[in-house]
Amino acid sequence: MGVYTSNSPMPGYRRVMSFIDGENLVFCYQSLIKQGEIPKQENYFLEDTYVWNKETLYLRQMENIRATYYTYAVGSSNMINDIQNELRNMYFKMDNKSVLPNRLTPCVFKKDKKTRKTKGVDIKMTVDILSNVYQDNLDTVFLVAGDGDYLPLIKEIRRFGKQIYLAFFTTGLNENLLNYVDHYICLDKLYFQNKIPE
């Protein structure tokens, strides 16, 4: 696993909205497992559908207004509803002083068969992010994704004077994204155990 740390300091109080590309996240997570990484037991994981750790969005001195988890799932409408309920019951860590809800908001799309990647999540996330940026509903966009397709979106967010935080796994990361965000976090150590040298 590569080591990524951001040198920029964490600013004070900000209104944050988090947008999680769960489809990208779970495929990168599964790729790291195939490479021999050992996942932590506290992760929530459903193959090809979602992966989550409550520490993913932990930011001190910030109010995370909402965290939306976007993903696809294969199955019946009842199964999709069950997955939405599972995601809704997952939470993210916040400072104790915060009075805002700290549960994930699910956005689960149904697909007919398991495929590597689709564009529906990217499009829906982009529309939601830009809508909130244009309406000045937030100060900071916390984007959980490493896909280079998000670079034009990140540039547009910057054009409106908003901060951008990025969280990602090293596998699947387009390193060019790091040049355009204000702070970034590598999730590898959060989701995986440190290997014991042989």
What pLDDT shows up at residue 32?
96
Torsion of CA 154, 159, 165, 168, to 10 degrees: 10
The mean pLDDT value of the chain amounts to 88
More confident residue, 60 or 159: 159
pTM check: above 0.85: yes
Positive or negative, the CA dihedral 32, 4, 164, 68 is positive
Average pLDDT for 146-174: 95
Q: Look at residue 11 and tell me whether its pLDDT is greater than 70.
A: no
* 3-state per-residue secondary structure call for 143-176: EECCCHHHHHHHHHHHHCCCEEEEEECCCCCCHH
Structure tokens given for 70:
């976007």
Cβ atoms of 108 and 14 closer than 8 Å: no
**Residue 20: enclosing H or E segment and its boundaries?**
strand 15-21
Residue 170: which pLDDT band, with cuts at 50, 70 and 90? very high
Q: What is the CA radius of gyration of the chain?
A: 16
Q: Look at residue 63 and tell me whether its pLDDT is greater than 60.
A: yes
More confident residue, 196 or 65: 65
Q: Look at residue 50 and tell me whether its pLDDT is greater than 80.
A: yes
